[in-house]
Amino acid sequence: MIAVSWVYDFLQLFIIDGSASEEDEEDGGNEYKLRRFVRLFAYITLIFKVIVVLVFWKASLDFSTIIKNKKGMSQDDELNDILEQY
């Protein structure tokens, strides 16, 4: 879902919206600052979504490695591992 959301945001920002200069002329430029502010945050969320995807991907790789290494361990072994960390 994150990838679909990212593609939609990308299309919306760079292809669909394009330029709103016609709308700026209609309202005398009153909404220009608001539109610029909203577009800035749209760019920030676009970049943030890429970072979130990378973090989730890395966490899923680490999770599968952790699960594979812990399959043969008993509860006593897990408790000893936790106590060794402290």
What was the pLDDT predicted at 59? 82
**How many domains does one find in the chain?**
1
Residues 25 and 15: their CA atoms lie apart, in Å, by 21
How would you write the pLDDT of the chain (86 residues) with one tens digit per residue?
777 888 888 888 887 765 655 666 666 667 778 888 888 898 898 899 889 888 888 888 877 677 666 655 566 676 777 778 87
Q: Which domain holds residue 21?
A: 2-85
Q: Is the model's pTM score more than 0.85? A: no
pLDDT number for residue 21: 56
Q: Where are the alpha helices (DSSP H) in the chain?
A: 2-11, 21-26, 32-70, 75-85
pLDDT at position 35: 80
